[in-house]
Amino acid sequence: MLTSRFRNLAPLTSSSYSSAAVEDASGGASNGVVSSSNYTDYEEDEASLGAGYRVPPPEIKNIVDAPPVPALSFSPYRDKIIFLKRRALPPLVELAKPEEKLAGIRIDGNCNSRSRMSFYTGIGIHQILPDGKLGPEIAVTGFPDGAKINFVSWSPDGQHLSFSIRVNEEDNNISKFRVWIADVETGEARPLFQSPNVYLNAVFDNYVWVNDSTLLVCTIPLSRGPPPKKPLVPGGPKIQSNEQKNIVQVRTFQDLLKDEYDEVLFDYYATSQLVLVSLDGATKDIGPPAVYTSMDPSPDHKYLLISSIHRPYSFIVPCGRFPKKVELWSADGKLIRELCDLPLAENIPIAFNSVRKGMRSIDWRADKPSTLYWAETQDGGDAKVEISPRDIIYTQPAEPLEGEQPVIFHKLDLRYGGISWCDDSLALVYESWYKTRQIRTWVVPPASEDVTPRILFDRSSEDVYSDPGSPMLRRTKAGTYVIANIQKESDEGRYIILNGAGATPEGNIPFLDLFDINTGKKERIWESEKEKYYESVVALMSDQEEGDLNLDQLKILISKESKTENTQFYLVSWPEKSLVQITNFPHPYPQLASLQKEMIRYQRKDGVQLTATLYLPPGYNPSTDGPLPCLVWSYPGEFKSKDAAGQVRGSPNEFPGIGPTSALLWLARKFAILSGPTIPIIGEGDEEANDSYVEQLVASAEAAVKEVIRRGVAHPKKIAVGGHSYGAFMTANLLAHAPHLFCCGIARSGAYNRTLTPFGFQNEVRTLWEATNTYVEMSPFMSANKIKKPILLVHGEEDNNSGTLTMQSDRFFNALKGHGTLCRLVILPHESHGYSARESIMHVLWETDRWLHKYCVSNTSDVGEDHDTGSVKENDNKGTTDAESKVVATGGGGSKEGSDLEYGGFHSLPRSSLW
């Protein structure tokens, strides 16, 4: 499937469990104590430093408060486009609503959905005219004012939109989801169910179109009563046992079930009744109430692939590892057969590429009416077991003849990674192996047993320069996506189109290659304009008709952007490759429209080539303005080769997306920003990368700092370092082991003591007991006594990311304070691993801006000096806690006066997926 890098493109079924999107009409915070600030405000007395939520200076605040552009989604036949309208940051009151933390997920009991869901505020429909331009907007109407819209999807024929809405019911504060239908031609919307008492259960799957006029909906059972009450007196102790001496190693999962009451509560919220409902309102309950997790109709609409989870549950792993049953039903809900019933999977090894035993990745062949396929491991799911084959892929008709066994489709020696189907003569099968970074693509002819499968591509996943691209997919009449066959005039070759990122030493130059699958010959038929713009292919737009696509009639959707021009979308039509612009979004932050951006390359002392993106404020001239304070913001990565680590990723012409907590916000405060300098941790061959983590980390940082100083853009005494999650871990380690490089640090939502994540973290698969020295040496907690530079710690109080418990920052702060380090800890109530509420985000920006001013902009100390006195005379026993924020600070040793998950980064706004 094609992954889009554009945050304003919505998937065909649009939902999100990220931050909600609402604020008051004035654009300000709707609750909490707020105040604005400038540099002079930072000279406040100690008592005021913990008084309520703060707002950063207008230069930053105005960028964060800018209204977001709408999300887009195209109709199945590419003749219409909808604009999904959204608002800016949500108020804290949205996050403060009660939530149940059960089985690794968080549930909003009032909505009976995942908590903290974002939503849309309106839907606008546009016809795509014959000349490619958009017709006038048809607004979807009929739902209540203030409704929050989720789960937007097109009917297979493109005539209707389905979506859910929720509105607050003041009498009982219940805001459950109802499913609505809108006519695409008129925009008129109405409830799908005639009964007002039918609500959507959106804890797992929600609903799916079975055909043009029927939906299958997960509903809250009508017979369900009020939530179960927790007994005042427990029925017994909480007991876990391993008397069978099983080896069970799990990472530090959070929000797990704790007791029998949690199990009952999980069943209460997660149990659904499946209902078939037609557009005329007729309904039919199918199947018994159960915890259904997915519903997948067959391409011919005759069958349903239904997955559910059931007891016994677990107290040590999340619900994704609970016992899982997969069944085949007829389209009207009759059970045909059980495909598998997998047991509880508590003992999946922690090594990468380890998987669950039994059938997995069960799905429908996209090129067939109703043929199933799946993979089964041959190594017991343990990546450490050497065996051939490692995975086998099977296929089978939905209703096999009596005695008919599954057919072996292909055998793999690496781990199965998916299939792109085309037809009976072509399918592309993917396999990979993390430890070696090997990734292979096989050509398999599904209906030709006498034709031997062959390897099409065999490369390192780290080697982005060798990436040939992915096949362009086209939509079938059944609504599935298959590899597009391309016809070339007077040519009998078998052609597909490869869509590639086009990584080069000069940056990414996306491309389309016409690729002969039989001969391997390539012809470049489109390439991004590389002098000023960055263009990228988003989707195929000429797939309305069945059969092969004629190259001369090809039409694609691309995005186009530059360093100073924000992303717009265009239609490109062959043979002239003419462009028609279909969006005209305003610049989100015109005050930074002329910022300066450059991709730079430099070298680590061991010869590894490094890259970074250097941003400079609008109008800045290093020769006349002199060096600036500089913020280095990064996130380490692990590699198996020095060559791969040195490859350029990204484009110098990409528009700088500035998210609400992005380091680029400080361009508005006249900082130089070194964004994403590569911090490669390399373990070649049998070497373990983390065994030399500190040395490589420091060497990479030294090279980056040396480069910005050499360029004359960064003042050597005024370079700060920061990061989120694993980037926060990096920040703390750099302040401990490279104090000569940075004047201060900002560490958000990090993990600092690796003994608290004993069964692996990030890309480390050895346990604490297997690599004790590595765990200890990598932990900045163990080097707290070495940290002398000011460090700001920020953490969400409800962090649910594996490994980054809030306790990590609490204990690290106490360790720092115990050694007299100048430090400050900010705990954000109701926030998780990433921050969502406007009050929280504004306060984090205020804290960061204050920290950078006091300990970077105003720093006059020698770079490597240990500071014995400080201007911030805060009593470490007077940490303030109030209803809005919790801030603890200590001034043990400050500078003189005047001076992105454990498994993912926290950089700019997230990019969503398209189809």
Asked about 725 being catalytic, the answer comes back as: yes
Identify which of 497, 648, 658 has the alpha carbon closest to the alpha carbon of residue 567: 658
CB 570 within 8 A of CB 562: no
| Per-residue pLDDT at 32 | 39
Cα dihedral value 58, 63, 67, 68, nearest 10: -160
**pLDDT surpassing 80 at residue 17:** no
| Per-residue pLDDT at 892 | 39
Q: Would 853 be classed as within a structural domain?
A: yes
**pLDDT surpassing 80 at residue 449:** yes
| Identity at 643, one-letter amino acid code | D
CB 825 within 8 A of CB 813: yes
| Per-residue pLDDT at 440 | 98
Q: Would 842 be classed as within a structural domain?
A: yes
Q: Would 762 be classed as within a structural domain?
A: yes
Confidence band of 880 (pLDDT split at 50, 70, 90): very low
Confidence band of 40 (pLDDT split at 50, 70, 90): low
CB 778 within 8 A of CB 758: no
- In this structure, what CATH number is given to the domain that contains residue 747? 3.40.50.1820
pTM (predicted TM-score): 0.89
| Per-residue pLDDT at 173 | 57
CA distance 162 to 156: 11
| Per-residue pLDDT at 247 | 86
Mean pLDDT of 130-149: 94
| Per-residue pLDDT at 16 | 34
Identify which of 438, 416, 436, 437 has the alpha carbon closest to the alpha carbon of residue 428: 416
Per-residue pLDDT tens over the stretch 574-617: 999 999 999 999 999 999 999 999 999 999 999 999 999 999 99
| Per-residue pLDDT at 490 | 75
Per-residue pLDDT tens over the stretch 505-562: 999 999 999 999 999 999 999 999 999 999 999 999 998 888 899 999 999 999 999 9
163-172, 235-244, 457-466: range with lowest mean pLDDT: 163-172
Query: Helix count (H) and strand count (E) of the chain?
Result: 10, 50
Q: Where in the sequence is the domain holding 784, given as residue range(s)?
A: 590-857
Q: Which of 160, 795, 830, 833 is catalytic?
A: 833
Mean pLDDT across the chain: 89
Q: Which residue has the higher pLDDT, 39 or 75?
A: 75
848-870 burial by CB neighbour count: b if 16+ within 10 A, else e? bbbbbbbbbbbbebebeeebeeb
Mean pLDDT of 407-416: 98
CA distance 71 to 152: 11
Q: Would 716 be classed as within a structural domain?
A: yes
Per-residue pLDDT tens over the stretch 728-750: 999 999 999 999 999 999 999 99
Per-residue pLDDT tens over the stretch 620-676: 999 999 999 999 999 999 999 999 999 999 999 999 999 999 999 999 999 999 999
CB 53 within 8 A of CB 843: yes
**pLDDT surpassing 90 at residue 33:** no
Q: Put residue 26 in one of left, alpha, beta given phi > 0 → left and psi -120 to 50 → alpha.
A: alpha
Q: Which of 262, 513, 543, 799 is catalytic?
A: 799
| Per-residue pLDDT at 583 | 94
Q: Would 279 be classed as within a structural domain?
A: no
Mean pLDDT of 69-96: 94
Q: Would 484 be classed as within a structural domain?
A: no
How many domains, the chain?
1
Q: Which of 700, 725, 749, 912 is catalytic?
A: 725
Q: Would 734 be classed as within a structural domain?
A: yes
CA distance 534 to 560: 6
Q: Would 838 be classed as within a structural domain?
A: yes
Confidence band of 859 (pLDDT split at 50, 70, 90): confident
Residue with tokens 């149990």: 271
**pLDDT surpassing 50 at residue 1:** no
Asked about 849 being catalytic, the answer comes back as: no
| Per-residue pLDDT at 342 | 98
Q: What angle do CA 794, 795, 800 make, to 5 degrees?
A: 160
**pLDDT surpassing 60 at residue 47:** no
Asked about 833 being catalytic, the answer comes back as: yes
**pLDDT surpassing 80 at residue 169:** no
Identify which of 420, 463, 467, 423 has the alpha carbon closest to the alpha carbon of residue 442: 420
